[in-house]
């Protein structure tokens, strides 16, 4: 066992003992002497310190710790006499009391005992587990994969020699590392952890073996540190490794990232558009990526894209909300309905209402309908058109009331348009009643409703 030497305590405690001895006796006012037990405890702590320095095994350290426990227990029984101060005496701190000094020595000695223990087999297992976590959580580059495999192979060989055992990588380590799982390599390290646990290594008898294993783990960690990982690459190198630029032929636009983005948009490569969005941090490219997703619409509605846009929508990003509408992402409804509340700014309300209308979820009908009665003048028309896009017949009643009572012609025309989109006979008949209105927009919607009703009328015999 490798015992940590703590001889520094000797000189410190000897000085402390001399200072304490000089302080013993009566004070200037004839106060009581320091309890005799204090001096005895100091001597016992000197013995504990000497025993700690001489300890060579875990059993030796256990004995030292038991002696220290005894000193601490006896210290609890010490009662120092109370000193009476005189008037005019200041309350300045004269330093730690004898008991506090002994408590500090005991704490230092406990630290020394702890430092002198081990290392144990458990320390090896913990170290291997940490390296395994690094291996599995890191994305390695194409050049880094063989470096990782070499580091693990060397480690397995060193462990095999230390434990007189054989460890192998069972599977395609290179493929696993490239995919970011490291399955075969991780499994190999797990087998080492199990073997070390089963070996039941003793801190005294197997000290050399434990030291060899810990040295092997350190070399493994150094190898993983030196291996090239994904975050070591520049952004353009990362994009190139992902094949982002592979679609480029004779490009004309600059920067080339934009040229590749347009090509990926035309090909419907949503994953590459998202890759550019996540990797290229400039506002210029972020704007173009969002515009591409919006134009792609439902084509872009992959799980990854919806999740990405929802993350932005949670921060009330208008572009992301528009894109979710174009995607018709029903997963976004619960988030978006919160943004149509009247206490939000009108721009956010309008972009959200339009998105909810494009998504077309029945769950949004009531929150949108509430705006027809309570919303701002420039928000109510957007709410009416959103109800028309959804096309749910439950919206007929609030749209009808809006046509009858709202004093804004734009809102009334939007309500008539929405009724035409719903398209049932009831909805069309309500809209058709307003063909003599002063508003040209409303009159036009009413005439269109009449025309639709006329087309639906059955010919008489």
DSSP state letters, 48-67 = HHHHHHH--SHHHHHHHHHH
- Structure-derived torsion over alpha carbons of residues 212, 216, 218, 221, reported in degrees to the nearest 10: -160
- For residue 355, how far is the Cα from the chain centroid? 29
337 touches 364 (CB < 8 A): yes
384 touches 378 (CB < 8 A): no
- For residue 64, how far is the Cα from the chain centroid? 45
Helix and strand numbers, DSSP H then E, in the chain: 23, 0
Say which residues have a Cβ less than 8 Å from residue 210's Cβ, sequence separation at least 6: 119, 120, 121, 123, 124, 201, 203
205 falls in which pLDDT band (50, 70, 90)?
confident
pLDDT value, residue 456: 66
136 touches 186 (CB < 8 A): yes
Query: How many C-beta atoms surround the C-beta of residue 270 within 10 A?
Result: 19
Say which residues have a Cβ less than 8 Å from residue 138's Cβ, sequence separation at least 6: 180, 224, 229, 230
- For residue 247, how far is the Cα from the chain centroid? 33
List the beta bridge partners of residue 140.
229
276 touches 261 (CB < 8 A): yes
Single out the residue of 409, 456, 448, 453 nearest to residue 429, CA to CA: 453
Expressed in angstroms, the distance from the first to the final Cα of the chain is: 110
pLDDT value, residue 100: 84
Six token digits for residue 243: 């094949």
Six token digits for residue 417: 């348009």
Q: Which domains does the chain have, with CATH numbers?
A: 1-22+35-76+98-117 (no CATH), 121-232 (no CATH), 361-461 (1.25.10.10)
Single out the residue of 203, 207, 214 nearest to residue 62, CA to CA: 203
Query: How many C-beta atoms surround the C-beta of residue 231 within 10 A?
Result: 9
Six token digits for residue 142: 């194409």
Task: State mean pLDDT over 71-79.
Answer: 79
144-184, pLDDT tens digit by residue? 999 999 999 999 999 999 999 999 998 766 655 555 556 89
Cα–Cα distance, 333 to 324 (Å, whole number)? 9
Omega prior to 271 cis, within 30 of 0: no
Cα–Cα distance, 354 to 209 (Å, whole number)? 70
Six token digits for residue 38: 């204090």
28 falls in which pLDDT band (50, 70, 90)?
very low
Single out the residue of 237, 248, 311 nearest to residue 274, CA to CA: 311
130-149, pLDDT tens digit by residue? 999 999 988 898 889 999 99
Helix (H, G, I), strand (E, B) or coil at 142: coil
Q: Which of 57-66, 323-332, 377-386 has the lowest mean pLDDT?
A: 57-66
Query: How many C-beta atoms surround the C-beta of residue 121 within 10 A?
Result: 20
401-451, pLDDT tens digit by residue? 999 999 999 999 999 999 999 999 999 999 999 988 889 999 999 999 999
Place of tokens 């037990």: 37
Q: Is the torsion defined by CA of 255, 257, 259, 262 positive or negative? A: negative
Any idea what the Cα angle at residue 90 is, between residues 87 and 94, rounded to 5°?
Answer: 125
Q: Is the torsion defined by CA of 184, 189, 192, 198 positive or negative? A: negative
Residue 26 has pLDDT above 60, yes or no: no
For the whole model, what pTM was predicted? 0.59
Supply the DSSP symbol for 139.
P
372 touches 402 (CB < 8 A): yes
Helix (H, G, I), strand (E, B) or coil at 30: coil
Six token digits for residue 267: 């090909």
pLDDT value, residue 204: 81
315-331, pLDDT tens digit by residue? 999 999 999 999 999 99
Supply the DSSP symbol for 408.
-
């Amino acid at each position: 066992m490798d015992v940590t030497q703590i001889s520094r305590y000797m000189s410190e405690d000897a000085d402390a003992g001399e200072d304490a001895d000089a302080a013993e006796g009566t004070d200037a006012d004839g106060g009581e002497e320091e309890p005799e037990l204090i001096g005895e405890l100091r001597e016992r702590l000197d013995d504990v310190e000497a025993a700690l320095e001489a300890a060579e095994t875990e059993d030796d350290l256990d004995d030292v710790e038991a002696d220290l426990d005894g000193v601490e227990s006896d210290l609890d029984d010490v009662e120092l006499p109370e000193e009476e101060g005189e008037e005019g005496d200041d309350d300045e701190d004269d330093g730690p009391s004898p008991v506090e000094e002994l408590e500090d020595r005991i704490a230092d000695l406990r630290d020394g005992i702890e430092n002198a223990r081990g290392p144990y087999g458990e320390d090896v297992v913990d170290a291997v587990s940490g390296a395994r976590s690094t291996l599995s959580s890191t994305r390695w580059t194409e050049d880094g994969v063989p470096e990782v495999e070499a580091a693990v192979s060397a480690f397995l060989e060193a462990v095999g020699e230390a434990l007189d055992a054989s460890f192998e990588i069972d599977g395609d380590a290179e493929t696993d590392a490239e995919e970011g799982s490291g399955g075969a390599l991780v499994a190999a390290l797990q087998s080492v952890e199990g073997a070390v646990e089963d070996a039941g290594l003793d801190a005294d008898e197997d000290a050399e073996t434990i030291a060899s294993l810990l040295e092997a783990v350190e070399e493994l960690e150094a190898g993983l540190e030196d291996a090239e990982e994904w975050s070591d690459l520049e952004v353009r190198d990362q994009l190139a490794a992902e094949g982002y630029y592979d679609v480029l032929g004779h490009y004309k636009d600059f920067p080339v990232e934009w040229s590749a983005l347009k090509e990926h948009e035309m090909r419907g490569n949503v994953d590459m558009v998202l890759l550019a969005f996540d990797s290229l941090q400039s506002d210029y490219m972020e704007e173009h990526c969002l515009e591409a997703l919006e134009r792609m619409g439902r084509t872009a509605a992959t799980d990854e894209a919806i999740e990405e846009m929802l993350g932005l929508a949670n921060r009330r990003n208008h572009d992301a909300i528009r894109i979710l509408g174009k995607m018709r992402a029903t997963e976004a409804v619960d988030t978006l309905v919160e943004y149509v509340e009247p206490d939000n700014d009108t721009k956010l309300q309008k972009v959200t209402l339009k998105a909810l209308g494009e998504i077309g979820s029945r769950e949004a009908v009531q929150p949108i309908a509430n705006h027809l009665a309570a919303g701002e003048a420039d928000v109510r028309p957007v709410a009416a058109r959103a109800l028309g896009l959804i096309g749910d017949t439950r919206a007929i009643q609030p749209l009808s009331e809006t046509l009858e009572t709202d004093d804004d012609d734009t809102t009334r025309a939007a309500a008539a348009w929405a009724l035409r989109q719903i398209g049932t006979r009831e909805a069309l008949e309500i809209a058709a009643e307003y063909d003599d209105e002063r508003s040209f927009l409303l009159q036009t919607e009413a005439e269109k409703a009449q025309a639709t009703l006329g087309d639906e009328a059955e010919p008489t015999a």
